[in-house]
Amino acid sequence: MKKVLVARAVFPEVIERLGVVFEVTHNQDDAVWTQAQLIDKLQGREGVFVTGTEAIDAKLLDACPQLRAVCSMAVGYNNIDLAACTARRVLVSNAPDVLTETTADFGFALMMAAARRIAESEHFLRAGQWTRWGHDLFAGADVHGTTLGILGMGRIGQAIARRGAHGFGMAVVYHNRSRLDADTEAGLGARYVSKEQLLRDADHLILVLPYGPASHHAIGAAELALMKPTATLTNIARGGIVDDAALAEALHERRLAAAGLDVFEGEPALLPALLTLPNVVLTPHIASASLPTRRAMAELAADNLIAALGEGERAGAPPTALNPQVLRAG
């Protein structure tokens, strides 16, 4: 029986399901291992079930030559060196699609919370400061009928566009590495513009692009300077896409009205300045955190691991392999 490691705590039924096929070592205490500890735990194991937090790089792969499959329950995989895995014929999979709608819901909710000053007003109320009504008490920005800007137009970006255009009557503009076809644009009610035009036009900008060297600090001081001072920015993509220090400065100086952030540079550490700002809504990377969705993400990672390493009728093509050519090569 092949041996696999589950690197973080997951639903017990997923552990049980994997245990039918493999000898499983798990981490249900949810300890956060150092890379050295992870390498030690991986000795003698052919597969690993990871989340978005475990770094799988060339150093780890060289120290674990028996590893054949890295299956993540996250959709983003910037913590995994895909090229290094492919070069060593290690299959990598992620968990797209199953979190699209839930993440889009959350992105829209975070954007609305920032626009309507929901967190700020709740803190005010909880502190016992609400003593009377005022005509401008926490007056924020409208969402309906405004311009929604989307940077990154993959599955989640398109789901957000549908909510904005069809649910809130928003004019939707977007920028992406590649333009969508005309029929898709028409169905979404979305218009393609340059990145600069997107920043200038958006009343509410939502970031849903993947992270990589090309998108590091895609929103920095220069980009923030192009935005309306009445605009909001929401990041549900990845930390590092936004220069958090430049954003904090823009929010402090009211050159940007508000922001909603679910991801951060260096998370779980946060830039201290963000914690002092009243006009930013902060959440701990939970955009996909509904129970049905997280279960579906974990089950999909298990599907991939079983298909990649299982035997007999259990073996097959992993449903969401990122480098399926490594199986064909073997």
In this prediction the pTM is: 0.92
Residue 238 is a catalytic residue: yes
Q: What is the mean pLDDT of residues 306-321?
A: 87
Contact 47, 67 (CB under 8 A): yes
Query: What confidence tens digit (pLDDT) does each residue in 95-151 have?
Result: 999 999 999 999 999 999 999 999 999 999 999 999 999 999 999 999 999 999 999
As a whole number of angstroms, the distance between CA 42 and CA 67 comes to 8
Q: Which of 163, 238, 294, 299 is an active site residue?
A: 238
Q: Is 152 exposed, middle or buried (0-12, 13-18, 19+ CB in 10 A)?
A: buried
Q: Which of 101, 249, 265, 267 is an active site residue?
A: 267
Partnered with residue 172 across adjacent β-strands are 148, 190
Residue 285 is a catalytic residue: yes
Query: What confidence tens digit (pLDDT) does each residue in 208-267 have?
Result: 999 989 999 999 999 999 999 999 999 999 999 999 999 999 999 999 999 999 999 999
**pLDDT value of position 326:** 92
- Please name the residue that has the structure tokens 């402090």: 252
The Cβ-side half-sphere exposure at 58, using a 13 Å CA radius, reads 3
Lookup: tokens for 180: 């969508």
- Amino acid code (one letter) for 20: V
Domains and CATH numbers, the chain: 3-98+291-329 (3.40.50.720), 100-282 (3.40.50.720)
Q: Which of 285, 295, 311, 328 is an active site residue?
A: 285
Side-by-side strand order, sheet with 47-50: 23-25, 3-6, 47-50, 69-72, 91-93
Residue 267 is a catalytic residue: yes
Q: Which residues contact 203 (CB under 8 A, 6 or more apart)?
A: 141, 146, 147, 148, 149, 228, 230, 231, 232
Instruction: Return the sign of the alpha-carbon dihedral for residues 263, 283, 152, 292.
Output: positive
**pLDDT value of position 313:** 66
DSSP-assigned letter for residue 3: E
Q: For a pLDDT cut of 70, what percent of the chain falls above it? A: 99
